[in-house]
Amino acid sequence: MVELRSTGKPRAAVRTWTSFMTDFSIIGKPIAMVDAAEKTTGAGKYTDDLSLPGMLIGKILHSPHPHARIKRIDTSRAQKLNDVIAVVVGADAPNPYGILPVGHDEHALAIDKVRYIGDNLACVVAVSEATAEAALELVEVEYEILPAYFDPEESMKAESNLIHDNKPHNLEKDYHHTFGDPDKGFAQSDYVTESRYLANEVTHAAMEPHSTLASFDIDSQTGQAGRLTVWSSTQVPYYLQHKLSLVLDMPMSQIRVIKPLVGGGFGGKSEVIPLEIIAAVAARKAKAPVKITYTREEVFWAHRGRPRTIIDLKTGVKNDGRITAVKARVVQDGGAYCSYGVVTILYSGALLGALYDIPNIHYDGYRVLTNKPACGAMRGHGTVNVRFAFESQLDEIAGRLQIDPAEIRRRNLLKPPCITVNGLRVQSYGLPECIDKIVERSGWKSRKGKMPKSRGLGIACSHYVSGAANSIIRSDMPHSTVNIKIDRDGGVVVYTGASEIGQGSDTMTAQVAAETLGCALSRIKIVAADTDLTPIDIGSYSSRVTFMAGNATMRAAQEVKKQIASAAAKKMNCAPEDLVFRDDSVFKQSTDHVGAGLRPAQEEQNSASVSGRVEGQILRGSLQQKRKDEGPKDSMSFEEAVVATIDFHGALTGTGSYAPPLEARGGKHKGGGVGPSPAYSYSAQVAEVSVDEDTGEVTVHKVWAAHDCGRALNPVSVEGQIIGSVWMGMGQALTEEMVWKDGLLMNPGLLEYRSPSSVESPEIEPIIVESIDPEGPFGAKECSEGSLAATIPAIANAIYDAVGIRLRESPFTPERVLAALRAKKNAKTLDMTEGVDPTAPVRLREHGGALWFKGKGPERHELDPARRTEGG
Amino acid sequence: MKKQLIELRVNGRPRELAVEPSKLLLETLRQDLQLTGSKRGCDDSSCGACTVLIDGVPMLSCTLLAASCEGQEITTVEGVSEHGALAAIQKAYGDWGGAQCGFCTPGFMMTVKHLLATTANPSEAEIREALSSNLCRCTGYSQMYQAIKAAIEAEQKGMDSLSQQVAK
Ligand code: FES
Ligand code: FES
């Protein structure tokens, strides 16, 4: 860690600023999201709610084999079925693509090989879903089955039958990083411990299944199919536009991507999902609009979730608990395609830093290909599983050294502003306060160690980036740009490419614009995420929107504000700098502006100044008259000021953009581009759990979660994001797990995957900590991901506190808890699978594949009534 | 399959339409009546996003045949707002963060509407139990409890002021 200036209490300095700046009128107040009514009334449109005249339905044929060469694919019988309009196969769109420039290994539909059960083979377009489904049965595919790889450590030994020919040993990517001098660090330590941790695979399971609608216009000049419009359930409309252009061989300017409401993403929609491309290819071939919506089972196959991760972690500490060195070897079971894999494996190593002060780090990361659906980015991208290992191990060390687990964390704090040993710049750092807060609220000091039998408390911390400082495509292009237009009606239209996916992006934009302009929130109209209308924004991922799009919005608003100020200043006979914008009016700083005095009058005026359009001219009778009557004055309504500005300047528009500062973009080492962020969020949590020692069931009673979000622009949303993250972390900790049998997902349904319901969800107390980041918009940082990672180890540590077992494999299911309890007592492990199908996975289910799945998948167990007979 | 003429009563209005006997109520609502508020979130009746009220009882419209609902009163999320304004529960869900992405929200609206109609002052345990028929992936449910409590309070206040007016 390199300290950037003499540490001299930056936190105290920050405080003063806080008290000075708290005088906001829009931000910092809990408000309903701007689109809340659309959602609670059902009026809002998600992609699958849209339809176009003449729209056809597409259905995709998926591979029943985990690894096979396609010898022949014959669609002629399907083609002949009544009301089938087109059948699309790989040859219809042979260009490869992938979300990362280094990972263009996917095709819309398989060309020569299928690489996982569920891989995409063909798409039937028909007038109805039923017809399309019937036609899928008629597509004939002949395969040459290849040996498949399901375990990453086995897969890495492969010499032949590689998943991708250009990836020897099925190794997508490996990184080996050394920062500081780890050997020396371990030599200096008083105590070293080493363990293997395993985090099983989880997926986003957003409530809205992916859906895409694609349609071509006819060009007036050529009379031929021209521009393509795609409505899609995506977090990254601009990346989608780019990939569509690659695969369809069309210029980006001819492609418009519109993002309607999105029913949750969590990373699952942060890259281009096959159906998005397939729908466009199908629309081109069918010469009609095509909509494809995944079934829930298809959503599980599309996946892109958090990989199963094996972590070998070694930590060295001094007797006082100070960490001297960390060594981590991480193997990720990445599935059949690269997806975000290279970034995921880098995050796993990079974000060992920036939470605590670790002087020496060695990291070996392996991203391995296997014949399973591709893993990608999921909430807390790359950091979560390693954090589980790290925080568990730290707890173990604290126990060993008899240091309070909260205290050992305090002893390893960074001293910001600083640059960590692996090149991450840390400025605002609310972690100490987060720890203080949860220790206090949970009654840690008085209750820890004095809990009733089988009940315990555990603590853990985590952090996350507020947007990646380097975009996927390394360039100096701004990451977000926002335009603002204000017209004579006084309405403020904000054009932003940022993608609302339920996290509150549009609301944040509206709040930041209104606060900066000092106008009423009701004036703001958001036009978002439409590649034709809005300037580019790289998308809703890596928790970047508040920080980056928020800054861009603020800058755009400042630009228009400057124009308004100069016009208003002329009217008021003062310098623009003397003007204050607030409560929907503009007034001289010197005037005793009492909100209460001015506000009701303003409101009256607003409602009175209804514009009438007479002979093409907008007249504001009373308002304009009033302006003439009075000479220079001390205040103007926002609308008056706008009209004055337009009189002086003509159109009132502004633009603002954001690119992360150079200092925040990280080290120069290979892979050093992933991990750096302009600001990090921090979280500390205490979980209270009890363990039923007879059944192995773990109950989480309560989680106290303190999160440093810089500044809470909308506290109700911030709390919602913290709760949602903790809740999702709890799911991964206790129940959620993708169970595989030879590459077949055994639990592709929401109940079988065990997304927790309200009765299984604990009380979560969110605690907002505001460290006021010097570069965030109004000091804000991210709040949607950073909390997730701490929950899993907090629960693991609480289980240890409750019953004395260290669980090193997540989720902590009753089977695993019982096995550990029995091992502790030196009792024989119970064989829970005794007497059942020996080929079934460790965890059981009653049928292979969801009930809807009628046999395009793999063979079922012979006792399964849903099993289809050969050739049937 | 040959279509049949059926008459459904949806949100208090009669709607005559021709559907296949096998057509699900959810699809009929979404495709034939353009009432896209009810959502499909799963394949196997597990998520509750499609919940509607049939004669006041919450049911999964993805698990009902449209033709079997003739003669019953169907209420969808589009029928929840009152006189062009948000119902108390809709307002409260917005204010308290009960809806994030909103995809599960229509289903929850129906479940909660039924809960409030049948249980005067539900305890937190009762609320949790009622909500367990619906899944949400965003909120962790916590803010929904606050919203529900706020809606009950708002409604009671509304009732109070109403009864006060009557008393006057
Ligand atoms: S759509 Fe999921 S329960 Fe009906
Ligand atoms: S708000 Fe997104 S699923 Fe409930």
Tell me: the pLDDT tens digits for B19-72? 999 999 999 999 999 999 999 999 999 999 999 999 999 999 999 999 999 999
A106 and A131 part of one domain: yes
Q: Nearest 5°: phi and psi at B131?
A: -70, -15
The answer to whether A749 contacts B44, with C-beta atoms less than 8 Å apart, is yes
Residue of B35, B138, B143, B144 to mutate when probing chain A, most A C-beta within 10 A: B138
Please work out whether the CB of residue B60 comes within 6 Å of at least one atom of ligand 1: yes
A29-34 mean pLDDT: 96
A488 and A502 part of one domain: yes
| Chain B residues with beta carbon closer than 8 angstroms to that of A755 | 135, 137
Residue A290 CA to ligand 1 centre (angstroms): 24
Q: Which of A140-154, A201-215, A597-611, A825-839 shows the lowest per-residue confidence on average (mean pLDDT)?
A: A597-611
A466 and A517 part of one domain: no
The answer to whether A724 contacts B100, with C-beta atoms less than 8 Å apart, is yes
**Residue A64: which of A114, A128, A136 has the closest Cα?**
A114
CATH number at residue A182: 3.30.365.10
Q: Nearest 5°: phi and psi at A420?
A: -75, 170
Amino acid identity, residue A433? E
**Residue A387: which of A871, A851, A795 has the closest Cα?**
A795
A221 and A199 part of one domain: no
> Taking a C-beta distance cutoff of 8 angstroms, is the pair A383, A344 a contact?
no
**Ligand 1 atom, smallest distance to B63 CA:** 4
A333-342 mean pLDDT: 97
| Within a domain: A196 | yes
The answer to whether B99 contacts A40, with C-beta atoms less than 8 Å apart, is yes
Give ipTM to 2 decimals. 0.96
A284 and A322 part of one domain: no
Q: Is the per-residue pLDDT at A610 higher than 50?
A: no
Q: Helices (H) and strands (E) in chain A — how many of each?
A: 23, 34
The answer to whether B140 contacts A764, with C-beta atoms less than 8 Å apart, is yes
Please work out whether the CB of residue B60 comes within 6 Å of at least one atom of ligand 2: no
Mutate to test the pocket of ligand 1, among B24, B27, B42 (most ligand atoms within 8 A of CB): B42
Final residue of a structural domain among A250, A284, A302: A302
- Would you state the pLDDT for residue A828? 74
Going by CA atoms, what residue is nearest to atom 4 of ligand 2? B136
Q: How many structural domains does chain A have? A: 3
The answer to whether A37 contacts B41, with C-beta atoms less than 8 Å apart, is no
| Within a domain: A853 | no
| Chain A residues with beta carbon closer than 8 angstroms to that of B24 | none
Q: Is the per-residue pLDDT at A30 higher than 60?
A: yes
Angle, CA of A718, A502 and A266, to the nearest 5°: 90
Per DSSP (E only), the strands in A360-432 are: 361-368, 418-419, 425-426
The answer to whether A264 contacts B103, with C-beta atoms less than 8 Å apart, is yes
In this prediction, residue A805 has a pLDDT band, given cuts at 50, 70 and 90, of: very high
Distances from the Cα of A244 to the Cαs of A214, A288, A678, B85, in angstroms? 11, 17, 30, 41
Q: Which of A6-10, A366-370, A726-730, B110-114 shows the lowest per-residue confidence on average (mean pLDDT)?
A: A6-10
Residue A507 CA to ligand 2 centre (angstroms): 16
Percent helix, strand and coil across chain A, each to the nearest 5: 30, 25, 45
Q: Is the peptide bond before A152 cis (omega within 30 degrees of 0)?
A: no
The answer to whether A750 contacts B37, with C-beta atoms less than 8 Å apart, is no
* First CA to last CA distance, chain B: 62
Element (H, E) at A708: strand A698-708
Element (H, E) at A511: helix A505-517
**Domain residue extents for chain B:** 4-79, 88-161
The correct answer on CATH 2.30.42.10 for the domain covering B88-161 is no
| Chain A residues with beta carbon closer than 8 angstroms to that of B76 | 42
| Within a domain: A525 | yes
Q: Is the per-residue pLDDT at A563 higher than 90?
A: yes
More confident residue, A833 or A317: A317
By the 10 Å C-beta count (0-12 exposed, 13-18 middle, 19+ buried), A155 is classed as buried
Residue A869, chain B, CB below 8 Å: the answer is no
Residue A845, chain B, CB below 8 Å: the answer is no
- Would you state the pLDDT for residue A840? 53
A458-481 mean pLDDT: 92
In this prediction, residue A1 has a pLDDT band, given cuts at 50, 70 and 90, of: confident
Which of B89, B105, B142 is the closest to A764 by Cβ? B142
Minimal CA separation from B91 to chain A, in Å: 7
Q: How far apart are CA A543 and CA A380, in angstroms?
A: 9
A377 and A232 part of one domain: no
The correct answer on CATH 3.10.20.30 for the domain covering B4-79 is yes
CATH number at residue A64: 3.90.1170.50
Tell me the ligand closest to A266's alpha carbon. 2
**Residue A326: which of A356, A306, A346, A347 has the closest Cα?**
A356
**Average model confidence (pLDDT) across chain A:** 90
- Three-state SS at B57: strand
- Would you state the pLDDT for residue A589? 84
Q: How far apart are CA A649 and CA A651, in angstroms?
A: 6
Q: What pLDDT, in 10s, does the model give residues A230-279? A: 999 999 999 999 999 999 999 999 999 999 999 999 999 999 999 999 99
In this prediction, residue A831 has a pLDDT band, given cuts at 50, 70 and 90, of: low
Q: How many CB atoms are closer than 10 A to CB B8?
A: 23
B78-85 mean pLDDT: 93
Per DSSP (E only), the strands in chain B are: 4-10, 13-19, 51-54, 57-60, 73-75
- Would you state the pLDDT for residue A612? 37
| Within a domain: A22 | no
| Within a domain: A7 | no
Going by CA atoms, what residue is nearest to atom 1 of ligand 1? B40
- Would you state the pLDDT for residue A834? 57
- Would you state the pLDDT for residue A860? 52
The answer to whether B95 contacts A32, with C-beta atoms less than 8 Å apart, is yes
A780 and A684 part of one domain: yes
DSSP state of A761: P
Beta strand A455-465 with A425-426 is: unpaired
Q: Is the per-residue pLDDT at A590 higher than 60?
A: yes
| Within a domain: A861 | no
- Would you state the pLDDT for residue A5? 64
**Residue A250: which of A242, A240, A258, A261 has the closest Cα?**
A242
Element (H, E) at B93: helix B88-95
A412 and A544 part of one domain: no
* Domain span including residue A80: 47-146+204-302
Which of B76, B101, B141 is the closest to A761 by Cβ? B141
Q: Is the per-residue pLDDT at A836 higher than 80?
A: no
Q: Is the per-residue pLDDT at A542 higher than 50?
A: yes
In this prediction, residue A616 has a pLDDT band, given cuts at 50, 70 and 90, of: very low
Handedness of CA A284, A286, A287, A291 (dihedral sign): negative
A281-298 mean pLDDT: 98
Final residue of a structural domain among A594, A629, A658: A658
Q: How far apart are CA B134 and CA A548, in angstroms?
A: 34
In this prediction, residue A617 has a pLDDT band, given cuts at 50, 70 and 90, of: very low
Q: Is the peptide bond before A811 cis (omega within 30 degrees of 0)?
A: yes
| Chain A residues with beta carbon closer than 8 angstroms to that of B38 | 42
**Average model confidence (pLDDT) across chain B:** 93
Q: What pLDDT, in 10s, does the model give residues A407-429? A: 999 999 999 999 999 999 999 99
A672 and A738 part of one domain: yes
A129 and A231 part of one domain: yes
Supply A235's token pair: 């977090």
Minimal CA separation from A761 to chain B, in Å: 7
Q: What pLDDT, in 10s, does the model give residues A670-694? A: 999 999 999 999 999 999 999 999 9
In this prediction, residue A16 has a pLDDT band, given cuts at 50, 70 and 90, of: very low
Q: What pLDDT, in 10s, does the model give residues A82-130? A: 999 999 999 999 999 999 999 999 999 999 999 999 999 999 999 999 9
β-pair partners for A482? A496, A656
Minimal CA separation from B152 to chain A, in Å: 17
Q: How far apart are CA A598 and CA A217, in angstroms?
A: 52
Tell me the ligand closest to B46's alpha carbon. 1
Q: How many CB atoms are closer than 10 A to CB A493?
A: 17
- pTM score, two decimals? 0.92
- Would you state the pLDDT for residue A406? 98
The answer to whether A504 contacts B100, with C-beta atoms less than 8 Å apart, is yes
Task: Tell me the Ramachandran region of residue B56: left when phi exceeds 0, alpha when psi lies from -120 to 50, beta otherwise.
Answer: left
> Taking a C-beta distance cutoff of 8 angstroms, is the pair A278, A307 a contact?
no
| Within a domain: A843 | no
| Chain B residues with beta carbon closer than 8 angstroms to that of A208 | 39, 41, 101, 103
| Within a domain: A160 | no
Tell me the ligand closest to B109's alpha carbon. 2
Tell me the ligand closest to B30's alpha carbon. 1
- Would you state the pLDDT for residue A842? 46
Q: What pLDDT, in 10s, does the model give residues A447-463? A: 999 999 999 999 999 99
Element (H, E) at A401: helix A384-401
Q: Which of A15-29, A179-193, A518-532, A720-734 shows the lowest per-residue confidence on average (mean pLDDT)?
A: A15-29
A489 and A586 part of one domain: yes
- Would you state the pLDDT for residue B160? 62
| Chain B residues with beta carbon closer than 8 angstroms to that of A545 | none
